[in-house]
A and B are shown apart, each in its own frame.
Chain A
């Protein structure tokens, strides 16, 4: 999976403008929305699909016996199938979660339960003991770091991490030293939410496999932006969020290899995930239901499936090509501004449609204020990646992130506003 030679042409300006008409929020006067990495906007089709389900088909899924419940269950499972097909998976390997954070906590929590002896002999392969190691990377979002810290503290395992270099690229020489026979879990992100760089998944998977470690991929910034196929990637578990891919908040998914999911003990427990319950103990359903305790976010799942259809309508190859063009324009434009330090890959190097930067001597909040005044919505702060920022020698940065609806004109308006911000705060200290 490379971004250097897009397999499809980028979207034309007319095509992007046509897509934009589907997004009610983007009609807001004067707004340049460049915060899609935090959360994307939703097309009318997604909103309509949710409303139509609620107005005509809503009922409790996987429990009622009436016709309406059966129909709702069917819609809900169709939505699962749509999302599964989108990532090259089978239906029963996709677990609904409230988002990627919940998915990653599910995995860490289930491994914690296995480590406490739950899940029987099958789950023994996940059991962590003192001396075992969980490996992450220095560029992880807090959602793919804090759950592993907690897991290590609960089990006595050691948390280690693959460092990054000054450009924020993973030190693969170090990775080869760190991932070893003690490594039981290797968790890493596919695309950095701060730098936009695509991490070498195949190399990391090869390292983990060599030592029999479980691989967990945070795909929050890849599933929405790149053609994505779980079988090609070779990882064991994948987490992503719906609201970053034109879908609703409150829905996301965990994909796992069937044999992995069915061997993991449950994390959240309760209704709809059991077969037999006595006062003493319970037996559990196979995946995915095993991990879906309680009432599920049904209309959100239906909305996410519609978002997937929308993206399929555009074509993920073309989404990726458009993002590569937007990312290049952002990176080149920022790099050309005197006093701006572009973080991550150099201009021209592969990145998705986002760029983070620092203005010398000016805090990101102050940069963001001037951009906001110009109608440009960007993210300022540490973007839930404090260790990465610390490693790059900054406390905060400004991040501009586009998506399928972002125009070149918007990128240029953002760049002009950034020049204004640099001027406003005057001489660099």
Chain B
């Protein structure tokens, strides 16, 4: 089970059992609901802002260990970032996820998302990891619009 072990690092398993920042709060400045049509997983991500800076990310949803852990990781990474920074971190994360294992997530910029690095070798699971990040991106886009 070495492959599965590298996919499900201890942090992923831990976060899937003990999620962070889960549960929506009133007064979000932007939010987005995303569904993975192949499995029916869903996530709602809220952005709570102070001007152009993320104060908090809250989320709720149901899904696999990867998508749930990914939402927690995003929610812990985002506070303190400007909206532009958040947008570029999402783009970086996507590049790593789509790299088929060639690009490790940059720990300095993506924090605990390094633990999701193994996902990029499993193309069927990339969508799971991306789901909350896509939601955050969509929330950003709709706020800008």
Contact = CB atoms under 8 A, between A and B. Distances in A.
Interface of A: 362-366, 369-370, 373, 380-382, 386, 389, 395-396, 420, 424-426, 429
A419 to B, nearest CB: 12
Interface stretch (B46-54, B58-66, B79-87, B89-97): B58-66
Interface in B12-47: 13, 17, 38-42
Interface of B: 1, 3-4, 7-8, 13, 17, 38-42, 62-66, 68, 122, 125, 128
Given A366-B65, A369-B4, A425 B13 contact: yes
Contacts of A426: 13, 17
Nearest to A426: B13
18 contacts: A362-B65, A363-B41, A363-B64, A363-B65, A365-B64, A366-B65, A370-B4, A380-B39, A381-B40, A386-B40, A395-B39, A395-B42, A395-B63, A396-B39, A424-B4, A425-B13, A426-B13, A429-B17
Contacts of B40: 381-382, 386, 389, 395-396
Nearest to A364: B39
A204 B41 CA distance: 34
Contacts of A429: 17
A83 to B, nearest CB: 31
B71 to A, nearest CB: 13
A365 B17 contact: no
Nearest to A396: B39
Most buried by A among B1, B7, B13, B128: B1
A380 B64 CA distance: 11
A396 B41 contact: yes
B57 to A, nearest CB: 22
Contacts of B62: 395
B115 to A, nearest CB: 15
Contact of B66 (A364, A366, A389, A424): A366
Given A381-B40, A382-B39, A363 B63 contact: yes
B64 to A, nearest CB: 4
Pairs of residues from A and B, 3 with the lowest C-beta to C-beta distance, nearest first: A363-B64, A365-B64, A381-B39
A369 B122 contact: yes
A365 B1 contact: no
A373 B38 CA distance: 20
Nearest to A386: B40
A420 B13 CA distance: 15
A373 B3 contact: yes
B30 to A, nearest CB: 25
Contacts of A363: 41, 63-65, 68
Nearest to A421: B4
Contacts of A395: 39-42, 62-63
A362 B65 CA distance: 8
A160 to B, nearest CB: 24
A425 B13 CA distance: 7
Nearest to A362: B65
Contacts of A373: 1, 3-4
A420 B1 CA distance: 9
Contacts of A389: 40
A424 B39 contact: no
